[in-house]
A and B are shown apart, each in its own frame.
Chain A
Amino acid sequence: MSDLLIKTEKLCKTFHHDGIKTPVLFDVDMQVRQGEFVAVMGPSGCGKSTLMHILGLMLSPSGGDIIIDGCSAADLNEAGRAKLRREKIGFVFQRFNLLPTVSGYDNIAVAERIRGNTVDGQVDNALAAVDMTEKARFKPGRLSIGQQQRIAIARAIVHRPRIVMADEPTGNLDSTNAETILELFRQIHREQGITIFLITHSLTAAQYADRIIYMADGRIQDIG
C-alpha cells in the first residue's frame, strides 16, 4: 500500500460567471503523504483556497483528477463525495463557520450525528484535546475567537479523520491565539497521527509544517 493520501493529476479550475471566465488553477500536480504536516503558502488570490476546496471535494475541478486514499474523485457522485468528506476529512476555516444557534458541544455533536455516530466520549475527547471542556456549553457568540477556533478544530478531529484541511486558521487571530492554535495542530499531528494540510500566508505558521508547498498564479512553484 502506498503512503500517498492525496494525489492530484493536472488539476485545473476555471470559474465561469456571466460569461466571464476566471482561470484559477493550472495543471496542479501535487501529493500529500499519509501522516504529513503540509503547509501551502502563496500570495492572496493565487488559488490556495480553491485548491483546498477541490481537495476537500467541496468544489469540482474543471479538469484533471484527485485521488484521495485510493479513490478517484471523478468516479464519485455527490453522495459519494459527501461520504468521503464526512468520513476522512475535517475542515477548519478562517472564519470558524460554527453553527451559531447551538453550543460548542452541540456543534461537535451535530457533526457526529451527520456521520450517524452516537454522541459519546468522542466529543469529550475532542474537547479535551483542544482544552475546551469547560466552555463547551456556551454558544459560539459567547466564546472568544480563539476559543471558537478551538471548537472548530475539535469538530474537525472528533471523527479521527485521515486529514484535517485548514484554510488560514490563524488569519483572524492575534499572535498569542495563533500560536495556541498552531500548537494544537502540531499536537494533533504528533499525538493522533492526523495528516494536516494547512493554508497560510504567514511564514511563522508555515514553519510548523514538515513541508511547504509554494503557490503563485494558480501553479505549484517549488516543492521544498
Chain B
Amino acid sequence: MLKLALANLTHRKIRSALSVLAVAIAITLLLVLVGLSRGTLNEVSNRMQSVQAEIIVRDKHFDLGSMSGGKLWEKEIADIVRIQIDDTPAVEHVMAVFLDRMKLAGLSQNVFGVHPEDFAFFAGSRRLIKGEIFSDVDSPSAALALAEAKSNRKIILDSASTTSEPLNYLPLIIDQRLAAASQLAVGDPVSYGDSPAKIVAVVETGVAGRVFAPINMLRGANGVAAQTAHMFFVKANPSLNTDQLQKLCEQIHSNIRRDATLVANYGQVIAENFRNLTIFMNLVSVIALVICFLFILVTIYTIVLERGKEIAILQSLGASRLRVLGQTVQESLIICSTGTVLGIILTFVVRYLIETLQPLMTIEVRISWILIAVLVGIGGGILSALYPGYIALSHDPVEALSFE
C-alpha cells in the first residue's frame, strides 16, 4: 500500500515538502554542528601531519590554543641533530617555526615563519600554484635593522637576494583556500600590523599553515632580535621504526627538556589541550542529536495525528492494527528518508558555503556521523509514527468515522 502512502503525501504537496524540509534541516543541523565542532581541530591536526616530519618539539608552556607562550632557541637544533638511536644518527633535518598571528581580509590567521629552504618540507607534495618562494634576511637583527631603516624611509635591501633587489615589505605565501576566501592574489599588497606586506605565492591547500613568512623577517617584524622559535619539526632518519621514533622523542626530552610529540599523535595532544572544548563538542553533538530527533518526532506526530479518520476507515475495512501501524510508518519513512538524504546533501552545501566564507572553519563530515544521521532519521521516522499511530488506534474508530 505504498500507493496510498505516496498519494497521501502528494495530496498535500506543500505540507509534505515542508515536512521533508524540516527533517532535512534537522539532519543538516546535526551534521553541521557535529562536523563544525570536530572539524576545525581535526583540520589543524591534519595540516600538521602534512609536514614532512615525524616529531613536533615545543616548550611545555607553549599554548596550542593561542599558539603562543614558551619559546625555543634555534641553537637547540644542534642538540637534536646530534642524537643517535641504536648507534645511527636519528635526525635528518630540523625545521624551526616562529609563529605569529595576523589579520588577513578580516580573518585572524596563524603565520608560520619558516626558513625559505625549509618550505619544501612544509609543502610536501603540494605545489605553489602561483608565484615563487620568498627569500629571507640572514638574521632577525638584520631584519630589525632593515625595519629601522624602513621607518627612516630608507630602502630595505633584501640581503638574501642575489640581485639585491629592494624589499620593503613582508613577503607572504598563503594557501589556496585563504586566497579564494579573501580574494587575494599574488602581488596583492596587504598589511602586517602597521607594516606593509605582500602576497608572493599561493600554495595548494593542506599545508601546515595558511600563511607563511620568512622566519627572520617575521621575527624582525615582531621586534624579536633573538633566534627564537615556537616549534621545531623534526624529520627523522627514514630507517627509524615507530619504537625508535618514540625513543627519539624521549631522547629529545631528556637532552633539551622540551616536549616532543609524534606528529601522528598531535590530534590527541590537541584534544587533551582542549579538554573543555572536547567536552563541549560532545555536548553539542548530543544536543544536536536530541534536537534533531525531537524535530522529526514533532513533524511526523502532527501528520499521523491527522490520519485519525483514515486509520478508522482502514479499520472498518478490516485492516489489522499491525497493518494500520505499518501504513503510518511507511508514510513517515518516506518523509524521513527523503529528508535525511536531502539533509545530507544540504550538509555538503552548507559545508561548502561556510568553508568558502569562513576559511578558518572546517566542517568534517564523517561517514560514521552520516550513518548516525541516517539511523536518527529512520529511527525517528519509525518511532514518531508508531506512537501517534498507536494513540489513533486506541481511539474508538466509530467516533472518527462519524466526524466529517
Interface residues of A (CB under 8 A from B): 49, 53, 56, 58-59, 78-79, 82-87, 89, 91, 93, 95, 97-102, 106, 109-111, 113-115, 155
Does A114 lie within 8 Å of B317, measured CB to CB? yes
The reply to whether the CB of B313 lies closer than 8 angstroms to some CB of chain A is yes
The reply to whether the CB of B47 lies closer than 8 angstroms to some CB of chain A is no
Does A91 lie within 8 Å of B316, measured CB to CB? yes
Kindly report which residue of chain B lies nearest to residue A15, judged by CB atoms: B396
Interface residues of B (CB under 8 A from A): 1, 3-4, 7-8, 10-11, 309-310, 312-321, 323, 396-398, 401-402, 404
Kindly report which residue of chain B lies nearest to residue A87, judged by CB atoms: B318
Does B398 lie within 8 Å of A58, measured CB to CB? yes
What is the predominant secondary structure among interface residues of chain B facing chain A? Answer: helix
Kindly report which residue of chain B lies nearest to residue A89, judged by CB atoms: B318
Does A100 lie within 8 Å of B11, measured CB to CB? yes
Extra inter-chain contacts (11) besides given A83-B318, A95-B401, CB under 8 Å:
A56-B316, A58-B401, A84-B318, A85-B316, A86-B317, A101-B4, A101-B7, A101-B8, A106-B3, A114-B318, A114-B319
The 7 A-B residue pairs whose C-beta atoms are closest, nearest first, are: A86-B318, A101-B11, A85-B318, A101-B7, A102-B7, A114-B319, A111-B317
Does B3 lie within 8 Å of A99, measured CB to CB? no
Q: How far is the CA of A82 from the CA of B402 in the complex (A)?
A: 19
Q: How far is the CA of A97 from the CA of B309 in the complex (A)?
A: 8
Does A110 lie within 8 Å of B318, measured CB to CB? no
Q: B10: which A residues are within 8 A, CB to CB?
A: 101
Q: How far is the CA of A30 from the CA of B87 in the complex (A)?
A: 108
Name the contact of A82 in the complex, choosing from B309, B313, B320 (C-beta under 8 A).
B320
Does B1 lie within 8 Å of A110, measured CB to CB? yes
Q: B323: which A residues are within 8 A, CB to CB?
A: 114
Q: How far is the CA of A194 from the CA of B355 in the complex (A)?
A: 71
Does B401 lie within 8 Å of A93, measured CB to CB? yes
Q: A98: which B residues are within 8 A, CB to CB?
A: 313
- With A59-B398, A95-B402, A99-B4 given, is the CB distance from A78 to B321 under 8 Å? yes
Which of A83, A87, A102 has the largest number of chain B CB atoms within 10 A? A102
